[in-house]
Amino acid sequence: MPRPRRRLASTCIGTVTAGLLATGAALAAPEEDRPKGSDIAMGAYLDYGPRGVARIPLLSRWLGGKEIRVGHTYLPGDQWAGIEGNVSFLADWAAWRRADDDRMFVLNVPMQARNEERVPDYQVAQLIRAGAEGQYDRHFRRLAEKLVALGVPDTVIVLGWEMNGTTYTHRCGPDPEGWKTYWKRAVNAMRSVPGQKFKFDFAPNRGTDAIGWTKCYPGDDVVDIIGMDSYDQAPGRTFDDQITQPYGLQQHVDFAKAHGKRISYPEWGLFRRGDNPEYVRRMLKWIEQHKPLYHTITDYCPHGVWQCKQNPDSAKVFRDALTPEKPGPVIPTPVIPTPVIPTPVVPTPVVPTPQIPTPQVPTPQVPTPEIPSPVAPSPVAPSPLVPSPLVPSPLVPSPLVPSPLVPSPLVPAPEVPTPQVPTPEIPTPQVPTPEVPTPVAPSPVAPSPVASSPVAPSPVAPSPVAPSPVGPAPESPAPSPAAPSPLVPTPVPPKPQPQPQPPKPPTNSKQWCVPLNFGEWLSKLVGKQSVCVQVDWKDNFGFWPF
């Protein structure tokens, strides 16, 4: 064995040589090979208790404002009380986690008491069998209740970490099958607590160690994350060896992908090789490439880069890689005004467009014939219904006089429609007023009492609506032309054929019927109409002479 001084000298020479080689490698590395900061959740183990919580913002400041999203600590494994969470510092970590929803709390939980007392394998096998039988379920259930009560039910539980090694009592090598059963019981005990949302991280050591870690994998139903603790130590001298070795970094990534799980690196850092910036640079680049759920560096000597001052080169690589890029000062680009060259305006010759007059063809004015007949009579049609009792005056003398004068009342009858052709001015009351008493004329012609019978309806005659031409008696033809003269400027239409008269009522009959004539065109529409009046001649009627 070399003496200590010689060992120190050899160590110093080796450290300097490694530092020079690493520095040269770092300087020779192309810019694109340098790791870049990302939004992957990162943190560092700074201390297990309140000091670890207090150092988080200081680490963030050292990294140029990099957000530390992962808080990482460990429960003591000396007694079951510590594994149950009966420690004061859990409250400090829970308060830090609750302060921001984007934060993550990672808690390493031992699976056995006396976890670091170098318990022999046969005793470890007995403890594993006891856990598989459920003797320790209550301890994990109490821990879950504690975490839910503290308001951190989504804690990431790194249960029985580095189980493939030889360091801890909760290792799986002495009884792999029993260990997997024990893991399942612990996970199910914690999941049975209401309100929990824990994620369980299966995190072996990189490499084979005492047993291949895949032989300890308990199953996809009780594992949420497949992690790996990877330090700069054997097996594998170079980082490439650590990637390709059995149960190394590449197999870890492939195994997690095959099982549909996210990966993590709960512990990583320097160990046994001194200040190794090349390892730090390559590890950060590996993390950036494979995007784990989170990673935390173990930051105390000899592993760390911030609290451990004996690794300055590695610290520089770590800091440069994770410090957020800040935009440089904005240098305004000088604005050089572009000279404005006036464009000569060339006037475009205006060619006058010849105006060709459009010939105007006069539109012949076709006079529209005015047909007043369908317009005027429409409102006047109902008006002749009221004066109908006055019409019988020309009908009365026809049966009384056998002389040739009898047809005389029938001659003017066709002339009755002539006043109905003009406009609605026909029913002017002035014209029929003097003509109403004309029925007295038959008295000298026929002295018989029948001649005076048409005088009876004279009380009904005062209605001014009656058409004037019908009123005059046939014996006095003089007033007939007087009525239409002021009202009909147009030529008199041809005389219509005499219409059949209604049957003559018997003498002294109580019913009087008079035909109505509304003009040629209206008569075609409404047909032949007549108005009948029922007169009740009572006894002792003083007016009628019979």
Q: 51 and 63, same structural domain?
A: yes
Give yes or no: residues 6 and 114 share one domain: no
Whether 210 is covered by a domain: the verdict is yes
CATH number at residue 241: 3.20.20.80
- Residue 84 placed within a domain: yes
- How many folded domains does the chain comprise? 3
1 and 148 inside one domain: no
In this structure, is residue 233 part of a structural domain?
A: yes
Nearest to 85 by CA among 107, 105, 70, 69: 107
- Residues 18 and 76 grouped into a single domain: no
Could you tell me whether strands 262-270 and 199-202 are parallel, antiparallel, or unpaired per DSSP bridges? Answer: unpaired
Tell me, yes or no, whether 391 lies in a domain: no
Contact of 394 with 445, CB cutoff 8 Å:
no
User: 129 and 20 share a domain?
Assistant: no
Expressed in percent and rounded to 5, the helix, strand and coil fractions of the chain are: 35, 10, 55
105, 97 contact by CB (below 8 A): yes
What per-residue confidence (pLDDT) applies to 39?
80
Q: Are residues 1 and 65 in the same domain?
A: no
Burial 190-216 (b: 16+ CB within 10 A, else e): beebeebebbbbbbbbbbbbbbbbeeb
In a domain, 2, yes or no: yes
Question: Is residue 43 assigned to a domain?
Answer: yes
What is residue 5's predicted lDDT score, i.e. its pLDDT?
Answer: 35
Question: What residues does 107 pair with on adjacent strands?
Answer: 73, 157
**Alpha-carbon torsion 525, 530, 531, 532, what sign?**
negative
Give burial (CB, 10 Å; 0-12/13-18/19+) of 536. Answer: exposed
Dist CA 417 CA 84 (whole Å) = 126
| Residues 41 and 23 both lie in one domain | no
Same domain for 7 and 78, yes or no, is: no
Residues 22 and 154 in one domain: no
| Residue 413 to residue 410: CA distance in whole angstroms | 5
Please check whether residue 112 lies inside any domain of the structure: yes
| Residue 526 structural domain | 499-541
Dist. CA 477–CA 394, nearest whole Å: 12
Q: Which residue, 16, 17, 26, is CA-closest to 277?
A: 26
Angle, CA of 489, 491 and 494, to the nearest 5° = 145
For the chain (length 546 residues), average pLDDT per consecutive 10? Answer: 36 41 39 56 97 97 96 97 97 98 98 97 98 98 98 98 97 98 98 98 96 98 98 91 97 98 98 94 97 97 96 97 79 71 70 66 61 49 46 44 41 42 44 43 39 38 39 40 42 54 55 69 71 60 45
Confidence at residue 515, expressed as pLDDT on a 0 to 100 scale? 72
Q: What angle do CA 55, 170, 257 make, to 5 degrees?
A: 75
Burial of residue 309, with CB atoms counted within 10 A of its CB: 0-12 exposed, 13-18 middle, 19 or more buried: exposed
Predicted TM-score (pTM) of this structure = 0.57
Please give the full DSSP string across 205-221, using - where no structure is assigned. Answer: BSS-TTS-GGGG---GG
In a domain, 546, yes or no: no
Write down the pLDDT at residue 186: 98
